[in-house]
């Protein structure tokens, strides 16, 4: 890994996948892309929502659930983080709950020692209703109750990074509740229908209103269950400009957090100091 970086900067990568119904296959693809990102200099790598499985049936996620702190997916990512000396943000893994037919949809963060340092359970559960179709994540998921914040002290510089998952993106109060951060992470599996209309504008809005970077890692393509996801993983700066993006298919995007740029944007337009509520 390339470590020649300004201490006022921190390098990130988002992985985009088209996950299948085979956990081992998905773990293999994720591992290859994480290694590619690390070789390109990323110090933190973000995986998309359901990187581990896009099941044929919604209940398939229940069959691969893991107990928090133990399991194939957690063990492999922890080992990889330790080997590559990077942070891996696994968004998301289905974790056990007290209900036999429901799980938490959880983001886990592994540090360069392979230790899990933060867990965030998705708080907002997606549902939609049309004349022909009804879907509700609450049928298989239990919502989290607390926001998630990742703090990284790297070379004496503190980086505050907010955690959110997919449908959370539509609720700006969650992002404000996390306070002033350097970056928000958004692993997602946005549908093609909603993604083409809302994905980019919502991500850019979260960056602009919070004057911070946003890194979004998406599912991007047509899956074996015939579901089509929007893709468009992207890295957005604090002014709302898209610096990097990937439309569809597997791959990575890279971005660099800069304290200088954050300070410049917040000094030029000190909106965060003007809040009344």
pLDDT tops 60 at residue 45? yes
Taking the CA of residue 154 as centre, how many other CA atoms within 13 Å lie in the half-sphere pointing to its CB?
24
Indicate if the pLDDT at residue 149 is higher than 80: yes
pTM confidence score = 0.96
pLDDT tens per residue, range 106-143: 999 999 999 999 999 999 999 887 666 677 999 999 99
Cβ distance 164 to 134 under 8 Å? no
Catalytic residue annotation: 49, 122, 166
Q: How far apart are alpha carbons 129 and 181 in whole angstroms?
A: 35
Instruction: Share the mean pLDDT of the chain.
Output: 96
In this structure, what token pair is assigned to residue 220?
């991007």
Q: Where are the domains of the chain?
A: 9-270
5-24: average pLDDT:
95
Per-residue model confidence (pLDDT) at position 241: 98
Q: What is the mean pLDDT of residues 195-207?
A: 98
Cβ of 53: how many Cβ atoms within 10 Å? Answer: 21
Helix (H) or strand (E) holding 25: helix 23-39
Q: Are 231 and 201 in contact (CB under 8 A)?
A: no
CATH class of 9-270: alpha beta
Residue whose C-alpha is closest to residue 187's, from 88, 276, 97: 88
User: Quick one: pLDDT at residue 277?
Assistant: 87
């Amino acid at each position: 890994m390339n470590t020649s970086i300004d201490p006022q900067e921190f390098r990130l990568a988002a992985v985009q996948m088209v996950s299948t119904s085979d956990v081992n296959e998905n773990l293999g693809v994720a591992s290859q892309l994480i290694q590619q990102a690390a070789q390109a200099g990323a110090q933190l790598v973000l995986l998309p929502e359901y990187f581990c499985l896009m099941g044929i049936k919604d209940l398939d996620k229940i069959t691969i659930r893991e107990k928090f702190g133990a399991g194939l997916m957690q063990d492999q990512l922890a080992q990889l983080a330790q080997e590559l000396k990077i942070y891996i943000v696994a968004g998301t893994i289905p974790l056990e709950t007290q209900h036999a037919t429901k799980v938490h949809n959880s983001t886990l963060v592994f540090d360069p020692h392979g230790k899990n340092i933060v867990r965030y359970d998705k708080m907002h559960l997606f549902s939609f209703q049309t004349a022909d179709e009804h879907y509700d994540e609450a049928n298989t998921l239990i919502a989290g109750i607390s926001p998630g914040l990742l703090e990284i002290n790297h070379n004496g510089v503190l980086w505050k990074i907010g955690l959110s998952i997919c449908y959370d993106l539509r609720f700006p109060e969650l992002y404000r509740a996390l306070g002033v951060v350097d970056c928000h992470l958004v692993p997602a599996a946005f549908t093609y229908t909603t993604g083409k209309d809302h994905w980019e504008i919502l991500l850019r809005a979260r960056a602009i209103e919070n004057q911070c970077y946003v890194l979004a890692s998406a599912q991007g393509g047509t899956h074996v269950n015939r579901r089509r996801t929007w893709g468009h993983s992207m890295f957005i700066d604090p002014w709302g400009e898209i610096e990097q993006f990937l439309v569809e298919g597997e791959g990575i995007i890279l971005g660099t957090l800069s304290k200088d740029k954050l300070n410049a944007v917040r000094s030029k337009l000190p909106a965060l100091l003007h809040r009344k509520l």
